[in-house]
Amino acid sequence: MEKVAADKKKLKAVEYAWACWPLIMVAVGGALGGLCGGGAAAINMKLFNSSRTQKAKYALSFLVSIGSVLLYLLAAVVLVIIFPSLGKK
């Protein structure tokens, strides 16, 4: 276990903020937003701990984050189509 912890580097505050911004979807999308945002944040953290270049890390993280937002929107639309009462207030 110590070997795994020794391989991980400490991320900068900017990298944490960039990697974890999809967690904002929890406030907007509830459990579904949390699922998509949490998954994206976990993938982004792994990206920032990888040996890629800084530009590649930020670019891939951006794509993962945008993909999670699109996945959330698609899942929300599918749920409203399957369960029409979800879209009514």
Residue 1's pLDDT is what? 44
pLDDT tens-place values along the chain, 89 residues long: 445 455 667 889 999 999 999 999 999 889 999 999 999 999 999 999 999 999 999 999 999 999 999 999 999 999 999 999 987 76
Residues 29 and 76 sit within 8 Å (Cβ to Cβ) = yes
Domain boundaries, the chain: 11-74
CB 61 within 8 A of CB 19: yes
